[in-house]
């Protein structure tokens, strides 16, 4: 299919499930933040299943070709996986600077990082049971997880990143074995800390993808629009992903007004062209979305383009998120018509 549509990862969680005011009033949690949930066990898991089903149906109703579980069971994109690993002390968390420069409680590394068990496989199985669309699921990247931790064990950051990569690699293999169509690795901190990303981040990312069979994507962005308000005009780390083993790269262009010429440097990879502005609570017209994608089409082939929001939609009101996804699907139809694809 030409110009397929998808979501980056998260879809807004309902107010009856999570306290959205508390969620928006803090930095994305790196340690567990169970106080955000409005229900506790034994009711929470069932409520999360119900909300996940609503998120799946909403994506289908919008017309997306590739759907996710909406990350409904997560307090943030990264903390559910990062805190499930062996080698971290969660009772005595550490501190690390967020990409905004503010200190944030984080997992404290006190031993060798290992994956004790699969973390997201059951989430994927639930997704597959409840949709006939292509499926994707996201995992936090090894570089980003290390930047969101306090290292009190490893002699070097490189060594720690490689053990995080081993854990991610095992998870990705299990997700593909369970039937995932796309697995996405979220690596926003490669943009935030490009020098370290060049030093060892790309090597760790490739280790996480070593031997993986299946469609893999790397998402790199400037942070949630609800948290990070200033957007640079270009990426500090992006052409380097031409050397990554992933098949797709997910970027933002709508909020940053990115000069899409940089896409020529990605070595022919497929690109999730972020074409939905998550800082604007108005719903774009389909034509406005299509025009953002046309800017990318000046530099990469139509076959390389996948339409997606700039980033996760977690912080948007649900009605706004839904309207934006519908506009994106309509934009894909406009682009297919322009390229002679029968509707």
Q: Rounded to whole angstroms, what are the CA distances from 132 to 36, 115, 127? A: 31, 30, 9
Instruction: Print burial letters for 72-97: b (CB count within 10 Å at least 16), e (below 16).
Output: bbbbbbbbbbbbbbebbeeeebbebe
- CA 125/CA 35 separation, integer angstroms: 27
pLDDT value, residue 257 = 84
- Reported as a single tens digit per residue, the pLDDT across 22-66 is 999 888 899 999 999 999 999 999 999 999 999 999 999 999 999
β-pair partners for 114: 86
Q: Is the pLDDT of residue 243 over 80?
A: yes
pTM listed for this prediction: 0.96
Domain coordinates of the chain in residue numbers?
A: 20-338
Quickly name the fold that domain 20-338 has.
TIM Barrel (3.20.20)
Query: How far is it, in rounded angstroms, from Cα 331 to Cα 286?
Result: 5
Measure the CA–CA gap between 128 and 254, rounded to whole angstroms: 30
Residues 171-189: pLDDT tens digits?
999 999 999 999 999 999 9
Of the candidates 320, 339, 341, 342, the one whose C-alpha atom is nearest the C-alpha of residue 58 is 320
CA dihedral of residues 120, 21, 19, 310 (deg, nearest 10): -20
pLDDT tens-digit readout, 85-140: 999 999 999 999 888 788 999 999 999 999 999 999 999 999 999 999 999 999 99
């Amino acid at each position: 299919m030409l110009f397929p549509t998808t979501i980056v990862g998260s879809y807004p969680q309902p107010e009856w499930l999570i306290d959205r005011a508390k969620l928006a009033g803090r930095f994305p949690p790196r340690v567990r933040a169970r106080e955000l949930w409005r229900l506790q066990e034994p009711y929470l898991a069932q409520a999360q299943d119900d909300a996940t089903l609503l998120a799946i149906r909403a994506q289908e109703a919008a017309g997306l070709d590739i759907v996710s579980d909406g990350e409904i069971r997560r307090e943030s994109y990264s903390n559910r996986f990062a805190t499930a690993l062996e080698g971290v002390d969660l009772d005595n968390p550490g501190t690390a600077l967020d990409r905004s420069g503010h200190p944030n409680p984080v997992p404290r590394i006190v031993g060798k990082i290992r994956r004790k068990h699969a973390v997201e496989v059951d989430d994927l199985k639930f997704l597959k049971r409840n949709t006939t669309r292509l499926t994707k699921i996201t995992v936090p990247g090894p570089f980003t997880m290390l930047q969101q931790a306090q290292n009190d064990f490893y002699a070097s950051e490189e060594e720690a990143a490689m053990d995080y990569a081993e854990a991610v690699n095992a998870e990705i293999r299990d997700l593909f074995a369970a039937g995932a169509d796309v697995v996405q690795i979220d690596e926003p901190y490669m943009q935030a800390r490009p020098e370290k990303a060049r030093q060892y981040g790309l090597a760790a990312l490739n280790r996480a993808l070593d031997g993986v069979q299946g469609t893999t994507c790397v998402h790199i962005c400037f942070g949630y629009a609800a948290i990070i308000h200033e957007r640079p005009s270009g990426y500090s780390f992006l052409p380097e992903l031409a050397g990554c083993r992933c098949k797709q790269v997910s970027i933002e262009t709508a909020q940053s007004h990115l000069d899409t010429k940089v896409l020529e440097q990605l070595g022919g990879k497929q690109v999730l062209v972020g074409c939905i502005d998550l800082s604007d609570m108005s719903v774009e017209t389909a034509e406005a979305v299509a025009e953002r994608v046309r800017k990318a089409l000046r530099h990469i082939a139509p076959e390389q383009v996948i339409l997606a929001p700039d980033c996760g939609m977690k912080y948007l009101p649900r009605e706004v998120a839904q309207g934006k996804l519908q506009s994106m699907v309509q934009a894909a139809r406009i682009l297919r018509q322009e390229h002679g694809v029968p509707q």
